[in-house]
Structure 1
Amino acid sequence: MRPFAFTGGTVRPAREEPPRTAVRPLGRDRVLTAVRTALAGTGDRHGTALALHGESGSGKSTLLRWAAGTAADAGGQVVRVAPRPGGAAYSALRSLTAPLLAVPGARSADVRAALPDALRRHVAGGDETAVCSALWRTLAAMAERRPVLVCVDDWQLLDPASRGALAFLARRLEGTRVLLLAASDGQGAVSPAEDGMTGLPLPDLGEEAARGLLSERHPRLSAEVLTAVLTVAEGNPRALVDLPTALTPEQRAGRAPLPDPLLPGAALERRLGRRFRALPDSTRVLLAALAFLEDDAEPGDVAWLAGALGHDLDAFAPAEEAGLVSSDRTPRFVRRVHRCLAHATAPAAVRRRAGRAWAELALTRLGGGPSGTGPAGPRPDGPTGLDEPPPDAGEAGPHHEDAARLEVLGHAAVAGRRWSTAVRAFRQAGDLSPTPWERSRLHTAAASAALCGGRPRLALALARGPGAGPATTTAHAVRAVRAGALFDVAFHAEESFRGLSAALDAGPVAGADARDSAAFQLSALTSLTHDPAPAKAALEALPADAADALRIAVTARLDPVSRAEEIRGRLATAAERSLRTPGAGPRELTWLADAAWQVDDLASSGRLLAAALHRSGTERGHLPHCWELRAELLTAAGRWEELRDLVARRLTEGGAEAPERHVVALKSQLLLVCAYQGRREEARELAREVRQWARDRGSAHHSGLARYAALLLAQTGDAESAGGADWPADADPCLDAVTRQAHAVLVRGALLRDDPAAARARQTRAQRAGLTRFSDGTTLLVRHGRALLAAYTDEAGTDELFGLAEDAATASARPFDRALLALDHGRWLRRRRHPAAARARLRAAYETFGRLGATPWQDRARTELRALGALPPGTARTTTAGPALSAHERRVVRLAASGLSNREIAERLLVSPRTVASHLYKVFPRLGISSRRELQDTLLGGGEVL
């Protein structure tokens, strides 16, 4: 006779051969282990009860199915208890009576009929204890033949009587072959402590498990869509699986913008939507309005919206009781997916009311006032000729007024540099507009705002308007926005030059002028390719009323060396004005910070960058370039651990939305740090990625960074090698920032490979370029190179040249360059037999390299110190020299340390002064010192050595 497994109210044959393996839930290893252990324990009569508890969508039902499949495949029996909302007492248990009557493992008909009889007697006024006892006896008898798994989903929805009977069962399972596995979303009364069950919480999935689940269920999502879903789902399995089902194929592939907010799929709406639909109308209206607010909403914003909609904040109470909203100071959705559901489940009329209230609030916050007057101004991109007809007023439809109002908000948000608000306003206005031309124009405005807000991928998805013909103003704007976005997302030197040059000819864009971004990006292209043409084109195309900050930034990219003094003067004036003007936006401050970096003014660049980040708030305007610039500043300042944290954080937070060019820029700075610190394996992987990207995209700048990293690693190899032989001999230090930065290391490398001609050529080129007048940092590098050449050829006056370099080092903000000079100067002094001076330089180099974590360079300094017979700073004196000193030598050393002269020591020990001097000459190297002045420290630190 085939065994039977019981499911609900049906009897079915159990599966025998071959068993079907249950699908294993991802990211639940601890829970799966606990359930598997409990299932195994039932075979040894260690029955127990487990309670899975987690929020709705956390995967409880999936785990119950997995447990049921695992139990059935192992030959066990499965019984499922499902609640019946609104049912009578024991309604959940009554579904078990039919299958339990047919239990083949029961030993008698009385046992099989125990539960149905107890339920009938209870209806007639019988005792509840009899029902509980009957349930226990029936399941225990059923488990005599094979273990039984009782699965209870939605425990919180059980009628009280059924719940009480199952809790009675849970406390009496030891000694049986029954496992009770219950699941609750935490909204009901499941209490593992009270009901005798061991709790198994189901927290949100971790990043890796969430990505794995999403990739498994939706393998063709674009990277940016995957990131968006991960952000909204917050590790909730149901949300991860269901959110992509509401997207169109174009949206899933990243070729169309995602809904804002994301739409919930059918399963989410069916499971959670009912909780929203059950709320009072006043609460649903406020939740729909709350869905429009940004994450940085102020405490008064929600109250303003509630008042505008004719309600007060007390209307949120039902949502808070339902666990949808939390309210410390400002009501906020408990989960991001609740925002999606609040928007999607609201009727269209409610969404329109909420949208109007949000627009009025945003205009008020931006100074536009509820009447719509304010900084919005006229549309800069209306119909300009016969090729682009205005929209037909007869086709405006009922939403025309809302669209116009949202457009006014979009312009006000642009004026206030609230890019995310501008994107949403223009986009919604476009969605409400009746004609393809209007939709295209407004979506292009939203794309332009997204580009200014540091979201180039969104800008690409929005700038695809079908209503823009080839000759229209909007078509030119679309090309301008796409060129700027592609510069970050899919950079290629030649294509970027063509696209950005064409963008400078486009007219103003409704929302924000993409030509400013194009001009700055063209100037950056000059730095990347070492070709002055892009920056020249940008400078010539700038209108007379262009922002002074932008003009300074473009000039600094084009000619930072020969026009350094002029740029610094204009920069100081513009920076002071911008820092004192509260309305100065982060974009202008970023341009000024970039200009300061180009002229090697690290202090000003850091100050301006900090102000730009502070004024950005939660907006992301130009932040990708801000982070790139901050990474360069941290590398130069020797704050390398901060750089590592920054790169890790930005790559994690940015995810797939991080612009590709900025990701490579961050990794390039990390590559340099790895080279400085001698992390060869990590540097090798990063160099391969950076070099390949630079070769494919035509970036000479990134190729130079990879070469510089290789040069640094070559000079700290086991056998000090030259490296740098493949550096372009004609590299122009005026245009190539990496050649300026690597100058001293390049000269050093040429001399290490015995090529003084190459070293002299680089030195001459740097001096002719005016690097000694460019900045304190480059003055140090050029003087360092000159001193190295003089030391190599043993010129007279080498010490004076090193002295001039040291004078420049006091003003340099780059600690690695200062330490490298100290190392080279100390080596030269040691070889010229100036031990005291050499020791001071080498110890300074050793300490600085140690602070930076530049281990290979610190080892070089330690080797040089040991060659002097000196110990590095902070190194404890060892006792290995103790046994090598005879008793007579110890007496000589002690007397010398006390300050006696050789003659005085000789008189006390009855030896000649020459013998005393001979003893000291032999002892000093063994003690790691070079003069009598160090004897007292050695005596104090040597313990029993002396």
Structure 2
Amino acid sequence: MLYGRETEQDQIRRMLDRAGDGASCALVIHGEAGMGKTALLEYAAEVAGPGRVLRTVGIESEMELAFGGLHQLLWPVTGRLEQLPEPQAAALKAAFGLSGEAVRDRFSLGTAVLTVLSQAAGGGPLLCVVDDSQWLDRASLDALAFAARRLHGEGVVMLFGVRDGVPGGQITGLPRLRLHGLGPAAVDALLTDRVAALSPYARDQIVEQAQGNPLALLELPAALTAEQRAGHLNPITLPAGLSSPSSRIQEAFQEQIRRLPDPTRAMLLVAAADDSGDLDLVLRASARFGATLEDLEPAEHAALVLLTEHTVAFRHPLVRSATYQNAALARRLAAHRALADALDGEPGSGKHVDRRAWHLAAATTGADEAVAAEMVGVAQRAGGRQGTASASAAYERAAQLTADSAGRARLLAAAAFTSAEAGQFHRTAALTDRINALALDPVMLADFARVRAIVELDRGSPGGAARILLECADRISRSADLAPVLTEAVQTAQSSGDGRLLAEVAARLPDSPEYARARAMTGPLDAVRDTMGRAPAGQGEAGFAERVLAGTYEQLFADHRAALDTAAACVRECRERDMVGWLHTALHLLAEARLSLGLYGEARAAAAEGLAVAEQFGRRHRETYLRATLATLAALQGDGDRCASLSGAALEYADAHGIELAAAHAHRALGLLALGLGHAGDALTHLEAARARLGHPALAAFLLPDLVEAAVRAGQRERAAEPVELLARWAQAADRPAALALSHRCRALTGPEGETEQHFTAALHLHDAETTQPFERARTELLYGEWLRRERRRTDARSRLRTALETFEALDAQPWATRARTELQASGEAPDPDSRPNALLGRLSPQEREVVRLAATGATNREIATRLFLSPRTVGHHLYRAFPKLGITTRTELAPLLGQDG
């Protein structure tokens, strides 16, 4: 299977298709070693089919054997020699040693090759494959190139594979196709399919070193030890101690390096140990070994390195690997020491302090407290400027360099915690296994517990994670150390949905203002208002986990605009500080806030990005929540298949790992879909299943309005009684207009007949007081309009239903728009379905809708691709398909069509 070569494959298929019609063509496929030239040639042979391929391959050891390659190619058709004109037949026989004559006329030989190929193609298209042309004997290559330049209408395709940077193989006068490194999507697919058991951190290092080279992507992981595959890689150098790769390309590079003079090899090793490509630095460090610039010439002539006035670069990533791997340990240590000394003496060396420290650490064996201290400095600086992964590696190296056992435990705990922030969760787990928790002070014990909880959350259950945090809380007493532990205990316990576990967390929360939100989210609803009255107003200096908790509180208690602001700030901080371990959580919070505010397109973009990040780093726990969020968005738009698929995947994992809150969200999505489609019985089943998952009333509040409506519409009003009372208690605790409006709406559905209109009007008044939930306001209008129609007040009903319909259409909430339209028609008004912008969007696939919405804002294809995790080419394809469905021809027509300002 080929990865990322769709364009090249298409080109080859077209060439072979044209050959079927009698056309001929030739192509030189070239690129550096390992780029997949041979794989592409094999693909061409598969497409051409058995019996329609002639092939030869250059072999370095046979480069001096004249016409050896040509003989290999034409051997299957040598029986056709007698059909050639005499001069041509004689030339080929001489070339193949069949006549004992010498080849005197190269022109006749080239013409003979062309004629034989034309004859062989008489029964159908013919493919000629010439691989490793750089090692083909010159005589054969000249003859084949001669023929290729004269192909026209023979039905022959000739493909040459040539490795760049190797003497030989020059072919002029033919079209060329250069293979570049694979793009990110192809790299990810190749590693996912072909390489197993790589930690995200090791994977990132391999991707960086391979530079898109397919062979390097396969060979570098194969060379890693088990520990290195788990992520223990030095971020500045290739990992020491790799076993020698068995690939012939690596062996070839190593053989070339072994042939070089000692000073040249010394300079190459320094360059391989360095990560900057700074020629001046390499020269100053190499001077320690008596090497000079002139000593690089043999490597440059061998095309192993590329030099400019200021830089030195290895021609191929595997050259660097071969150089470093092939050197003895003592030489590697000396190279790093030389680089450290060179950086120390460099003008303005302060800016290179981190690189110098890494080289010192790489040059050090055994304990060295001074170098360990430098690595701690590296970690602290890295942690403050988008470098949590580097910080983790630095803390771990510092731990290796210290002889103090307690200090080592603290440093390993710091490494584990920062690796979790960086999303290196496999590495986090490995680090926690090496830590002696008994040696930790309270601060590090708290950090260690949080790391263990993160691992448990990913591999086990949220209930188990909460238990780890509570055990830690019982061992430490200082409030400053307790705060982050208990904050995360609240969140993990909520995820479990376990009311008793939440009560245990509540019992451990100190009675002080900084824990007000945590108590409100774990204690009884009746105490929420009193508790929040003592909450600190400012949260700017709070830790990140506390800010996430604040956003969760705001979302739980219907302060959706504040939740949006908090979530957006959290996402910004994750991006600015490179906190990928928290990014998916922040994006989930952002998606939920946007969903509550009716910003469905933006919510979908945030959830899709969050899911991609969570999948990239293996955060299955957060993936489950994000799938449930996307399922809810699909439900609102009436995309039943997508809703069922996403909810099913979320429920499967949530059930296996006790993630009850995520399971409740998935059930709610299915219930919301059924309710919108008018299947009240099915909706009630799903919504009651969601309610049963949650042991705390604040967690269940988000689904109660749906449950009440489903019960009433299903003719099961008695099953709405308890949810209505619980919703009223939650609304009183939240004390927000949005919450109180929902409570009044549900009272209107279930209360005494004489109070129905009073509750509906109160609900609408509250909706207007806080215009943050357009979907919920439209639902209130719809239910009010339905009641008015049943009361035979059709004029009043039409006004309510018309308003509801407009909002549902603007939100692209198709099932609800259909309900409103049906009611409006029943009231005596027939809306024009074709006058709605979102009716046009309904003709598009979900992916096309998102692309079109963003394009209407003026976003470019590349910007849209970044937002939706697509390629620019795919975006263009979606627009190409969408325009005819919308009845337009240019993207400038999108904004007016969708009612946007552009």
Question: Quick check: TM above 0.5?
Answer: yes
Equivalence for 1:426: 395
Determine if contact 1:276/1:284 at 8 Å carries over to the other structure.
no
Residues 781-796 of structure 1 mapped to structure 2, 5 A cutoff: 781-790=742-751, 793-795=752-754
Residues 1:151 and 1:834: Cα distance change in structure 2 (over 3 Å): closer
Alpha-carbon separation, structure 1, partners of 2:820 and 2:256 = 69
**1:139 aligned residue (113, 138, 143):** 113
Equivalence for 1:170: 148
**1:520 aligned residue (487, 494, 502):** 487
Residues 1:320 and 1:427: Cα distance change in structure 2 (over 3 Å): farther
Determine if contact 2:554/2:560 at 8 Å carries over to the other structure.
yes
Equivalent position SS for 1:658:
coil
Residues 1:799 and 1:96: Cα distance change in structure 2 (over 3 Å): closer
Paired residue type of 1:183: G
Alpha-carbon separation, structure 2, partners of 1:431 and 1:230 = 26
Equivalence for 2:521: 557
Equivalence for 2:28: 51
In the TM superposition, residue 343 of structure 1 has moved relative to its aligned partner by 7.2
194-203 or 859-868, which deviates more:
194-203
**1:111 aligned residue (68, 88, 91):** 91
Equivalence for 1:746: 707
Determine if contact 2:111/2:147 at 8 Å carries over to the other structure.
no
Determine if contact 1:81/1:151 at 8 Å carries over to the other structure.
no
Alpha-carbon separation, structure 2, partners of 1:717 and 1:435 = 66
CA offsets, 1:848-879, max 9 Å, x none?
111222111111111121122224378659xx
Alpha-carbon separation, structure 1, partners of 2:74 and 2:322 = 44
Equivalent position SS for 2:688:
coil
Residues 1:225 and 1:283: Cα distance change in structure 2 (over 3 Å): closer
Does structure 1 residue 830 correspond to structure 2 residue 789?
Answer: yes
Residues 155-304 of structure 1 mapped to structure 2, 5 A cutoff: 155=133, 167-174=145-152, 180-185=158-163, 195-202=172-179, 204=181, 214=191, 217-218=194-195, 233=210, 236-249=213-226, 257=232, 260=235, 266=245, 267=247, 269-270=250-251, 285=270, 288-290=273-275
Alpha-carbon separation, structure 1, partners of 2:311 and 2:802 = 57
In the TM superposition, residue 447 of structure 1 has moved relative to its aligned partner by 1.0
Residues 1:689 and 1:408: Cα distance change in structure 2 (over 3 Å): same
Residues 1:759 and 1:356: Cα distance change in structure 2 (over 3 Å): farther
Residues 793-804 of structure 1 mapped to structure 2, 5 A cutoff: 793-795=752-754, 797-804=755-762
**2:808 aligned residue (827, 846, 849):** 849
Structure 2 unpaired stretches of 5+? 288-292, 358-363, 837-902
Residues 1:489 and 1:714: Cα distance change in structure 2 (over 3 Å): same
Determine if contact 2:54/2:129 at 8 Å carries over to the other structure.
no
Alpha-carbon separation, structure 1, partners of 2:307 and 2:772 = 48
**1:613 aligned residue (571, 575, 579):** 571
Determine if contact 1:80/1:150 at 8 Å carries over to the other structure.
no
In the TM superposition, residue 427 of structure 1 has moved relative to its aligned partner by 2.3
758-767 or 810-819, which deviates more:
758-767
In the TM superposition, residue 441 of structure 1 has moved relative to its aligned partner by 5.4
CA offsets, 1:733-789, max 9 Å, x none?
993345312232222223223344443433233334553753222111111112222
Equivalence for 2:867: none
Equivalent position SS for 2:537:
helix
Equivalent position SS for 1:480:
helix
**2:661 aligned residue (701, 704, 722):** 701
Determine if contact 2:3/2:190 at 8 Å carries over to the other structure.
yes
Alpha-carbon separation, structure 2, partners of 1:225 and 1:269 = 20
Alpha-carbon separation, structure 1, partners of 2:213 and 2:56 = 27
Determine if contact 2:592/2:629 at 8 Å carries over to the other structure.
yes
Equivalence for 1:920: none
> If each structure's helix is expressed as a fraction of its own residues, which one has the higher value?
2
In the TM superposition, residue 212 of structure 1 has moved relative to its aligned partner by 6.6
In the TM superposition, residue 204 of structure 1 has moved relative to its aligned partner by 5.0
Equivalence for 1:686: 646
Residues 1:273 and 1:623: Cα distance change in structure 2 (over 3 Å): farther
Residues 1:162 and 1:399: Cα distance change in structure 2 (over 3 Å): farther
- Greater Rg by CA: 1
In the TM superposition, residue 227 of structure 1 has moved relative to its aligned partner by 8.0
Determine if contact 1:343/1:351 at 8 Å carries over to the other structure.
no
Does structure 1 residue 776 correspond to structure 2 residue 753?
Answer: no
Equivalence for 2:611: 651
CA offsets, 1:300-341, max 9 Å, x none?
xx8998999799xxx9x99999899999x9999999989978
Does structure 1 residue 406 correspond to structure 2 residue 375?
Answer: yes
CA offsets, 1:397-431, max 9 Å, x none?
47554333213332454577842231121123345
Alpha-carbon separation, structure 2, partners of 1:541 and 1:309 = 58
Alpha-carbon separation, structure 1, partners of 2:344 and 2:771 = 51
In the TM superposition, residue 164 of structure 1 has moved relative to its aligned partner by 6.0
Q: Percent identity?
A: 25
Equivalence for 1:443: 412
Alpha-carbon separation, structure 1, partners of 2:401 and 2:104 = 65
Equivalent position SS for 1:290:
coil
Alpha-carbon separation, structure 1, partners of 2:200 and 2:74 = 55
CA offsets, 1:615-667, max 9 Å, x none?
33133252232122112112212222223333333333443413111100101
Determine if contact 1:230/1:240 at 8 Å carries over to the other structure.
yes
Equivalence for 1:8: none
Equivalent position SS for 2:603:
helix
Alpha-carbon separation, structure 1, partners of 2:54 and 2:265 = 45
In the TM superposition, residue 525 of structure 1 has moved relative to its aligned partner by 2.6
Structure 1 unpaired stretches of 5+? 1-23, 123-128, 293-301, 373-394, 579-583, 878-946
Under a length normalisation based on structure 2, what TM-score does the superposition of the two structures give?
Answer: 0.71
Residues 1:184 and 1:435: Cα distance change in structure 2 (over 3 Å): farther
Paired residue type of 1:181: L
Equivalence for 1:672: 632
Equivalent position SS for 2:676:
coil
Alpha-carbon separation, structure 2, partners of 1:863 and 1:97 = 77
In the TM superposition, residue 537 of structure 1 has moved relative to its aligned partner by 5.4
In the TM superposition, residue 121 of structure 1 has moved relative to its aligned partner by 13
Determine if contact 2:118/2:156 at 8 Å carries over to the other structure.
no
Equivalent position SS for 2:684:
coil
Alpha-carbon separation, structure 2, partners of 1:859 and 1:330 = 66
Alpha-carbon separation, structure 2, partners of 1:234 and 1:560 = 56
Paired residue type of 1:712: L
129-138 or 236-245, which deviates more:
129-138
Determine if contact 1:520/1:538 at 8 Å carries over to the other structure.
no
51-60 or 728-737, which deviates more:
728-737
Does structure 1 residue 727 correspond to structure 2 residue 688?
Answer: yes
Determine if contact 2:667/2:689 at 8 Å carries over to the other structure.
no
Alpha-carbon separation, structure 1, partners of 2:811 and 2:59 = 64
Alpha-carbon separation, structure 2, partners of 1:168 and 1:565 = 88
Alpha-carbon separation, structure 2, partners of 1:62 and 1:138 = 30
468-477 or 605-614, which deviates more:
468-477
Alpha-carbon separation, structure 1, partners of 2:65 and 2:319 = 31
Does structure 1 residue 603 correspond to structure 2 residue 583?
Answer: no
In the TM superposition, residue 823 of structure 1 has moved relative to its aligned partner by 0.7
Equivalence for 1:461: 430
**1:860 aligned residue (819, 822, 826):** 819
Residues 1:424 and 1:271: Cα distance change in structure 2 (over 3 Å): farther
Would you say how many aligned residue pairs link Structure 1 and Structure 2?
A: 786
